[in-house]
Amino acid sequence: MYVRQRTQRVKPDDKHSTVDEPQQDPIDILMKEHEECLKYLARLHNAAGYIKSNGFSFEAYSQIAETIRFIDTVVRQHDEKEEKYLFPVMDRHIVGPPQSLRSEHRELWFAFRQLLRTVEDIEEGRLHGTSIAELVQSAEAVVEVLTSHIAKENEVVYPMAKQIMTKEEYCQLKEQIEKLPLLVPEHPQPH
């Protein structure tokens, strides 16, 4: 069951960490985390689509649960990195984008809580006539919010960050990110 396995910090020995590797450019690290996330979101989208078309299946549900665990650990820690290290530096130079991204993070976690509640209800046998529809709808909401958010960061925000930060700020960001475990494996692939 997902609920009993939820929310642990990724540690150096966890499957999503490759601390032994030399660290890279901090923005590249954040983008690699996004790449891994997009793979899980594709699986979530496919699983929700399968359930919507064919009805409930254990395999599709397992993919949803695995993606939830990924979001609740890796994506949560990724967002914390951005909010603790990247956005404050950007705040010194521009008004708007960092605040907008924080708001999108809150929107993501709201959608995620909805998905989590639906999954918990299903796992605990609190089923009703719309349970499957709610599962599909909440999964699709998470996919939509997070996919759009990642595109905005990759295409607009990260390039902007590279342009506006001073060399010293960028070096400091690199040092801060290097102290943290990497959140994606060397050869990322969902199961």
Report the half-sphere exposure of 119 (CA within 13 A, side-chain side): 27
Read off the tokens for 137.
């709808």
Q: What is the pLDDT of residue 10?
A: 37
Per-residue 3-state assignment (H helix, E strand, C coil) for 42-97: HHHHHHHHHHHHHCCCHHHHHHHHHHHHHHHHHHHHHHHHHHHHHHHHHHCCCCCH
Measured CA to CA, the distance from residue 151 to residue 22 in angstroms comes to 26
In eight-state DSSP terms, residue 180 is S
The pLDDT value recorded for residue 185 is 64
Cβ-contact 164, 93 below 8 angstroms: yes
Cα torsion angle, 119, 145, 29, 172, sign: negative
Rounded CA-CA distance 61/39 in Å is: 16
For the chain, list the domains and their CATH numbers.
Answer: 24-178 (1.20.120.520)
How many whole angstroms separate alpha carbon 93 and alpha carbon 89? 7
Question: What pLDDT is stored for residue 113 in this prediction?
Answer: 97
> What averages of pLDDT result for each successive group of 10 residues across the chain (191 residues)?
38 39 78 96 98 94 96 95 95 89 96 95 87 95 97 95 95 90 59 48
Neighbouring CB atoms inside 10 A of 60's CB total 23
